[in-house]
Amino acid sequence: MPRSFSTRLVGSLAFLAALAFVAALPLRAADPDPGGAIDFGTDRWTVQRGAVTEHLGRRCFAGSAFLKDAVFEDGVVEVDVAVTGARSYPGVLFRMASPGDFERVYLRPHRAGPSGYPDAVQYVPGFNGVDGWQLYSGPGYTAAATIPAGSWIRLRVEVKGTQARVFLGDSERPVLRIPRLERGPGRGTVGVNGPVDGSAFFSGFRYRPDDSLRFDPPPPVDVPPGLVTGWRLSAPFEARLVDREQAPSTWTLPPLQWRSVNAAPSGLVDVARHFGRLGAAPDAVLARTVIRSEADQVRKYRIGYSDEVSVYLDGTPLFQGESAYRLRDPSFLGVLGLFDAVYLPLRKGDNEVTLLLSEASGGWGFVFQDAGAVFTAPGVAEAWRSPADFPVPETVAYDPATASLFVSGYDGYHPSGPNGDQAIARLSLDGAVRDLRWAEGLRNPVGLAVFGGSLYVAESGGLAEVEIATGKVVRRTAVPGAVLLNDVAVAGDGTVYLSDSGTNTLFRIRGGAVEAWLAGGEVERPNGLHLLAGRLLVGNNGDGRVKSVDLVTKEVRTVADLGPGIIDGIEADAAGNLLVSHWEGRLWRLAPSGQLTKLLDTTAVDLPLANFAWVDATGLAVFPTFTANRVVAYRLPKG
């Protein structure tokens, strides 16, 4: 018996119990009294499990139920929830169009709190009876939250078209923004889904249609490079019918239906979009594709999967991985991600790749990616790259007066002592290293800015000023209360602005005086800074947006929503375009018209593009690559 069988059996039974609330619904054309609180004791509810009870002074409901007479498309669904803090998954269902097709938002109170996990709130779509929570995790799907035990807290979901947002309590800021509902626009009934063990309760359920809700435009759909997107997918069969150790040609399987499927823009093939499960026992499917190689070569491919996968190349088994819920340790979630890799010995010509994917619970799907792929927009080309001689380079700054590039050596693996153990390197525009330790005595330096013959350096605890003519630190200014200073920008009058990602603060130093200039609210995990036309541009990583702050009034505007990623570098070219880098390895161009274009993507090859320098005269973008320990330059076309 496979070592993961008992774990999967338990997961399968839990999965079926969790979906027991779903049943076919004949939807009526009109809703009686939408918007008012609906007592769980009325006959408007179909109760799948659970009962009306009393808790914390309220008549309430524990269990799972849905409305018989609701037709909900756009609007608001809300309910008060009370939890004990024990493991449970209470939430709401909306746009439930059929027994196994719905949208769901739920809470994990056992993973909540100020220092809790980033998945205390989760959105997940249901397809063909499969609640694929393991496939949909991260930005846009999960978020951290504080969920107090022993009291009532309001859970509210606002829905419009393909977007939604989730609120907890009385907060006017959503705890989770959902830029794209996976099921797209739709309609259906609404309900609640929760346990019957006394760990969660519902009260005051209401919903109302509302076409007046307004949402900001969603971020761009980002397509990572190297994704294998075209597959032939078989219908499910019982996983016990195959021996993973043997070639597929030796298996005896019933006749299988096959479909041509395309991966989502993320690369995910969610099997449940095409086929439902057969039952409680583990199921399996086959997925096949052809990779054409221009030569005999060994090539690395990354693979994400849930729950178990075997990879075959032209019928030969090469890889097996298991990622079921709680399989590897008691806290293991089995969330899908590109965490594994296989090296394919490709022959020149066509090579058939077959995946055997099995599922017990939590969603089944896979992603397959060429780990050597780099995306470059037309006209973008690598100009040069340095040796890996830089200790975690974080920022590159350009000094036109000396035609020099300065590189901060963050060296984050070695926290600096009070005297400063790190250095700034100096390079020529052609990538030649003039001096790896041009300016010494820095304290884990990060952001850099050139102004008035000086290099201003954001470092641990404050700001250092280095004289460019000598490479000496000539002044230091402490920034009391700073936790994680990140970037620095200097205005024409010498005023210095610093971002502190650790305290959600923008600091200002003017005339030697340090002040917390703007904090909280619209400023959350600020990183990259750039001054332009009387405004401070900020990479605001709390919501993935580039924002601009008026230097006089402190008015904050959203410039662009870039979606998931760490906004690290912001520069402007002579044509008025903004160039913005995601630390993970993406470079965007934002035109004055608002058009956003991806110019470069190095995420597949694990090459970060951190806080970069822009040389407008030559169209050169020079990137520090952080953990790759080198500096890389790309030539960009004029925008």
Q: What do you get for the CA distance between the two ends of the chain, in Å? A: 61
What six digits make up the tokens of 274? 């095409």
Q: Is the pLDDT of residue 63 over 80?
A: yes
CA pair distance 188, 73, nearest whole angstrom: 7
Report pLDDT for 419: 82
CA pair distance 377, 225, nearest whole angstrom: 11
Share of the chain above pLDDT 90, in %: 90
What six digits make up the tokens of 286? 């086959």
Report pLDDT for 11: 38
Does residue 418 or residue 489 have the better pLDDT? 489
Q: Is the pLDDT of residue 16 over 80?
A: no
Report pLDDT for 195: 97
Report pLDDT for 22: 36
Share of the chain above pLDDT 70, in %: 95
At residue 35 the predicted structure's pLDDT band, cuts being 50, 70 and 90, is low
Report pLDDT for 638: 87
- The pLDDT mean for the chain works out to 93
pLDDT of 352-375, one tens digit each?
999 999 999 999 999 999 999 999
Report pLDDT for 99: 74
Give all domains of the chain, ordered by start, each with its CATH number: 5-209 (2.60.120.560), 230-373 (2.60.120.260), 376-635 (2.120.10.30)
pLDDT of 499-545, one tens digit each?
999 999 999 999 999 999 999 889 999 999 999 999 999 999 999 99
pLDDT of 146-162, one tens digit each?
999 999 999 999 999 99
At residue 23 the predicted structure's pLDDT band, cuts being 50, 70 and 90, is very low
Least confident of 324-333, 371-380, 605-614: 324-333
CA pair distance 426, 410, nearest whole angstrom: 14
- Average the pLDDT over 540-558 and give the result: 96
CA pair distance 146, 110, nearest whole angstrom: 10
Q: Is the pLDDT of residue 218 over 90?
A: yes
At residue 298 the predicted structure's pLDDT band, cuts being 50, 70 and 90, is very high
**Residue/partner pairs of 53-59 with CB below 8 Å, 24 or more apart:** 53/201, 55/82, 55/201, 55/203, 56/82, 56/150, 56/151, 56/152, 56/201, 58/152, 58/203, 58/204, 59/203
Report pLDDT for 520: 83
- What is the pTM (predicted TM-score) of this model? 0.91
pLDDT of 113-149, one tens digit each?
887 899 999 999 999 999 999 999 999 999 999 999 9
At residue 408 the predicted structure's pLDDT band, cuts being 50, 70 and 90, is very high
CA pair distance 345, 342, nearest whole angstrom: 10
Q: Do 508 and 489 touch, CB atoms closer than 8 A?
A: no
| SS3 assignment, position 271 | helix
CA pair distance 72, 211, nearest whole angstrom: 11
Cα separations in angstroms, 8 against 11, 18, 108, 135, 382: 5, 15, 21, 17, 47
Q: Is the pLDDT of residue 18 over 60?
A: no
Q: Is the pLDDT of residue 28 over 70?
A: no
At residue 3 the predicted structure's pLDDT band, cuts being 50, 70 and 90, is very low
Report pLDDT for 196: 97
Q: Is the pLDDT of residue 13 over 70?
A: no
Cα 440 to the chain's mean position, in Å?
A: 37
Q: Is the pLDDT of residue 29 over 60?
A: no
pLDDT of 240-257, one tens digit each?
999 988 889 899 999 999
